[in-house]
Structure 1
Amino acid sequence: MLWRYSRNDALLIIGVMLALYVVFGIAMVVFLELPLNGLINTFRRITFLSAVYAMLVLALNLHWGYTGLFNIGVAGFMAVGVYTMAIISGPELGLGLPLPLGIIGGVLASALVGLIAALPALRLDADYLAIVTVAFSEIIRLTLNSQVFAETTLFGTTVGTGGGQGISTPENPIRAIFYTDPTDATAGLTPIGEVVFDITGSLEVVLISGVGIRKSVVIGITYAIVLALFVVGFYWLLSRIGNSPFGRVLKAIREDEMVANSLGKNTQLFKIKTFMIGCALMGLAGILWRGSTGFTIPTDYMPIQTFYVFLALIIGGAGSNTGSVLGGIVFATLLFEGPPQLARIIPVLLDDLFGIEVTAAPNNFIEAVGPLASLDVSPFIAYSLQNISTLRFIFLGLLIIYLMQNRPDGLLGHRKEPAAAIDLSARRDGGDET
């Protein structure tokens, strides 16, 4: 039954997240002896990154996994959504309109820009479509970075992109749950804020007593939970699209567009609609991610961001919504957040298990490798840990090579999703076999 299939997928995703919480929690407490505030903050960051990448991968899966559209301009459509929201509702260089209007405007702007990009691009084949979309994304980023559009006057108000200096975004709306004035933490607490902060501020742990959870961490974990609910919404929407007649046409286009055309389907129109929906979701995901930080700059939307999202889709498996969520979770935790945490744990392990004290990192690679001749590994380890962010790309490259050789379909890409909205293979007990 389809409902059983969905239920099992939900349990799979929840089980993976719980397992990651346990692994990170044990590592943080046992090796780093983090207080409760630090532990909760680690969980917050894991949940936040997993949620935003899951939303972006789900949106990309609609393009690539469902329809076969090779869109590598994800970062550009994120930028359109975030900057439009900031211009409509931002406190500086913005019109200062209510945040819901800014979010709606950002989503619609991303869909409109997706339409503009789709009209010429979708006439091209996969490789050429990829070139056009990445070029379009770079045009958007360079336009936002230009001083020409940094400031202008609209309706008597100074608005603009801020150029290379960036632009302020509205205050995190979750703060309104806890503060009477979200922009001023000294203005007072709401009844919910008083209760929650009183409880979390008085929590203690065994290792370090008297250390509670900071207010900023409480707000952050609340926002991460809201993002997780948005992931559920994205998943539900794309599942409904995939199981609808519209979604079945998309899968037919992915397999053989000529056959879909021969059956009387206007494949160009279907692809344009799909491209707009996917771009709108990318814009919304960008707003929920970058729009919550209070500030954004054009360098937040470099092409490498699109590469990250595509890699997460490859890990999970194109064509599977569940695989998309798992890919986003695995990428965000093990490959993005994992290495920096590992850099903190390894020195403690080496000191406890082997008595090796990691010294200050050398200035260059030659100084790190030279002492290996005398069996002194400490400088090399220190240098590697200091450059763990750069080594992350090596890990990503090795992972891609492994997946291409052993699991080219990703974790769940081999699964066959039902083409019908109901399970046609299910039969009633005692029914006729004729």
Structure 2
Amino acid sequence: MKFNREMFLKNDFRIVVSAFVGISFLFIIVAMILGLDFNGTVNTIQRIMFLSAVYAMVVLALNLQWGYAGIFNIGVAGFMLSGVYTMAIITGDPNGLIPGLGLPLPIGIIGGVLMASLLGLLISIPTLKLKADYLAIVTIGFAEIIRYTANALTFKTFSIAGVEMGTGAGRGIHLPMNPIRGLYYTDPSNLGLGKTVFGEYVFGFFEIVQVQSSVVVSWTYAIVLIFVVGLFYLVIYRIGNSPFGRVLKAIREDEIVANALGKNTDIYKIKVFAIGCGLMGLAGILWQGSYGYTNPTTFQPILTFYIFIALIIGGSGSNTGSIIGGVVFASLLFEGPNFVRRVIMHVFKFDKAPNSIIEAIVPISSLDLGPFVAYSLANISSLRVVFLGLVLIYIIQNRPEGLLGDRKELAASIDISRRPVVETKEGKEA
């Protein structure tokens, strides 16, 4: 069967699955060729799938605001933090070091989403009339207010109506235990008490291929998140193709025209901003929920910029592009450099890395690249930011619409760019 590229690119499901599977195979093939540890490779791919799903969820939520309605929200990290911390406070042990309300996890998740939506609603009412650049300043400032509030000693523990609770301040706050563990262990809080029947069977199977039980649990959580990404996509797709969504796209294209057609654009923007912030809060909960602990430094402004880079890569206005952008960013740009370091360190042996960039560059004059490579590998996390900047500059200059930005969803319910074919006596004509 001949490969039809145009038909392939029109199938969103194929594109997304191909991205996940293709990147996984890329890492597996490299690991097999070099003979890397299989358990370590499986764990690396798990982390890539996990982060890809997390970024895909947040980018989809941001695309609902920026790609659909043109709302320039630079406070993404703050709304994620509000969702996570609200969930932690609601579900926290009332007798713990940082007391909480002790309510069940589902109530905590719902409360976190509602709090993120409520904060989005409160900030949107007075600010959405601002132009894009001023709105960006306000949203990032609001996000920092949320982060500094969570970090303040004043709110480490406090009381409301006699009920003790707290944020833990700079020490952070504990989150409910990963519920996925309940599938594999009889008591998730004490793994030594034994495994469930399902856990015995699954762990026994993966022990044959030397994959550790902790990696199996992490993979299960990553698969659940990938499923949630699909739910995010369906929800936002339905919103985008509803009359409400078409008004949002009209606002993006020309808000004055949308107003002239009798649409109260302020109400639409407030609603979509609150919905998007709620989804960001949910994504933050699912992200940090696997760790069992979080702190305010996790939600610094650079997290928001990472999410925008992923959206730019995939293409603003395209839901499929949002997922692809999240996958490409998390796998190749965020985790990729660490994998490259692991590969290079496996193949080559280097002396101790120099302490400064000057000491690394000077030997190049004598054609000795070893110190520079060793320094680069030792500081790969810092240099990754430089690499991200270079990639962003290249994309903006050469493909500003992103990988799938050409599939930007239209405001009209039908494609009005194509004129219908009309039959005439002389024949067909457009």
Same fold (TM over 0.5): yes
After TM superposition, give the deviation of residue 365 of structure 1 in Å: 1.5
After TM superposition, give the deviation of residue 199 of structure 1 in Å: 1.3
After TM superposition, give the deviation of residue 317 of structure 1 in Å: 0.4
> Structure 2 counterpart of 1:23, which letter?
L
Does residue 77 of the first structure (1) align with residue 79 of the second (2)?
Answer: yes
Does residue 152 of the first structure (1) align with residue 150 of the second (2)?
Answer: no
Aligned to 1:403: 395
Does residue 56 of the first structure (1) align with residue 54 of the second (2)?
Answer: no
Aligned to 1:34: 37
Does residue 184 of the first structure (1) align with residue 190 of the second (2)?
Answer: yes
User: Which shows bigger deviation, 93-102 or 330-339?
Assistant: 93-102
Aligned to 2:125: 119
Match of 1:366 among 348, 358, 364: 358
User: Which shows bigger deviation, 77-86 or 415-424?
Assistant: 415-424
- Residues 110-169 of structure 1: CA distance to partner in whole angstroms, max 9, x if unpaired? 000001110111021111100000000000000000000110245765310000110000
User: Once the two structures are aligned, what percentage of the paired residues are identical?
Assistant: 58
User: The residue matched to 1:300 in structure 2 has which SS?
Assistant: helix
Q: Do 2:250 and 2:411's aligned partners in 1 also have CA atoms closer than 8 Å? A: no
Paired with 1:215 and 1:27, the residues of 2 have a C-alpha distance of 24
Does residue 8 of the first structure (1) align with residue 11 of the second (2)?
Answer: yes
Paired with 2:262 and 2:230, the residues of 1 have a C-alpha distance of 34
User: The residue matched to 2:281 in structure 1 has which SS?
Assistant: helix
Q: Do 1:29 and 1:39's aligned partners in 2 also have CA atoms closer than 8 Å? A: no
Change over 3 Å in CA distance of 1:33–1:408 after alignment to 2: same
Q: Do 2:249 and 2:410's aligned partners in 1 also have CA atoms closer than 8 Å? A: no
User: The residue matched to 1:158 in structure 2 has which SS?
Assistant: strand
Paired with 1:152 and 1:98, the residues of 2 have a C-alpha distance of 21
Aligned to 2:4: none
Change over 3 Å in CA distance of 1:7–1:96 after alignment to 2: farther
Aligned residue-pair number: 413
Paired with 2:356 and 2:13, the residues of 1 have a C-alpha distance of 47
> Structure 2 counterpart of 1:188, which letter?
G
- Residues 156-196 of structure 1: CA distance to partner in whole angstroms, max 9, x if unpaired? 65310000110000000111111122211122222211211
Paired with 2:410 and 2:154, the residues of 1 have a C-alpha distance of 51
> Structure 1 counterpart of 2:326, which letter?
G
Calculate the TM-score normalised by the size of structure 1: 0.91
> Structure 2 counterpart of 1:379, which letter?
P
Paired with 1:181 and 1:96, the residues of 2 have a C-alpha distance of 19
Does residue 390 of the first structure (1) align with residue 393 of the second (2)?
Answer: no
Aligned to 1:301: 299
Q: Do 1:243 and 1:418's aligned partners in 2 also have CA atoms closer than 8 Å? A: no
- Residues 255-298 of structure 1: CA distance to partner in whole angstroms, max 9, x if unpaired? 11111111111100000000000000000000000122110000
Q: Do 2:85 and 2:167's aligned partners in 1 also have CA atoms closer than 8 Å? A: yes
Paired with 1:181 and 1:422, the residues of 2 have a C-alpha distance of 54
User: The residue matched to 1:70 in structure 2 has which SS?
Assistant: coil
User: Which shows bigger deviation, 366-375 or 272-281?
Assistant: 366-375
> Structure 2 counterpart of 1:402, which letter?
Y
Aligned to 2:333: 335
Aligned to 1:380: 372
Paired with 1:230 and 1:169, the residues of 2 have a C-alpha distance of 20
After TM superposition, give the deviation of residue 404 of structure 1 in Å: 1.3
Q: Do 2:124 and 2:270's aligned partners in 1 also have CA atoms closer than 8 Å? A: yes
Paired with 1:319 and 1:413, the residues of 2 have a C-alpha distance of 7
> Structure 2 counterpart of 1:190, which letter?
T
Change over 3 Å in CA distance of 1:21–1:5 after alignment to 2: closer
Q: Do 2:203 and 2:213's aligned partners in 1 also have CA atoms closer than 8 Å? A: yes
Paired with 1:233 and 1:421, the residues of 2 have a C-alpha distance of 22
Aligned to 1:133: 139
How does 1:416-427 map onto structure 2 within 5 Å?
416-417=408-409, 419=411
Match of 1:195 among 181, 190, 201: 201
> Structure 2 counterpart of 1:14, which letter?
V
> Structure 1 counterpart of 2:110, which letter?
I
Match of 1:236 among 230, 234, 242: 234
Aligned to 1:209: none
Paired with 1:173 and 1:248, the residues of 2 have a C-alpha distance of 38
Aligned to 2:263: 265
Q: Do 2:314 and 2:405's aligned partners in 1 also have CA atoms closer than 8 Å? A: yes
Paired with 1:418 and 1:380, the residues of 2 have a C-alpha distance of 49
> Structure 1 counterpart of 2:25, which letter?
V
Runs of 5+ consecutive residues of structure 2 not aligned to the other structure: 1-6
User: Which shows bigger deviation, 26-35 or 404-413?
Assistant: 26-35
Change over 3 Å in CA distance of 1:6–1:415 after alignment to 2: closer
Q: Do 2:206 and 2:212's aligned partners in 1 also have CA atoms closer than 8 Å? A: yes
The ranges of structure 1 where at least 4 consecutive aligned residues each deviate by more than 4 angstroms after the TM superposition are 4-7, 154-157, 418-427
Change over 3 Å in CA distance of 1:384–1:252 after alignment to 2: same
User: The residue matched to 2:164 in structure 1 has which SS?
Assistant: strand
Q: Do 1:52 and 1:227's aligned partners in 2 also have CA atoms closer than 8 Å? A: yes
> Structure 1 counterpart of 2:395, which letter?
L
User: The residue matched to 1:414 in structure 2 has which SS?
Assistant: helix
Q: Do 1:32 and 1:345's aligned partners in 2 also have CA atoms closer than 8 Å? A: no
Calculate the TM-score normalised by the size of structure 2: 0.92
Change over 3 Å in CA distance of 1:330–1:236 after alignment to 2: same
**How large is the Cα RMSD of the aligned pairs?**
2.2
> Structure 1 counterpart of 2:11, which letter?
N
Paired with 1:329 and 1:120, the residues of 2 have a C-alpha distance of 35
Match of 1:96 among 102, 106, 127: 102
Match of 2:181 among 175, 178, 182: 175
After TM superposition, give the deviation of residue 32 of structure 1 in Å: 4.9
- Residues 55-89 of structure 1: CA distance to partner in whole angstroms, max 9, x if unpaired? 00000000100000000000000000000000001
Change over 3 Å in CA distance of 1:292–1:156 after alignment to 2: farther
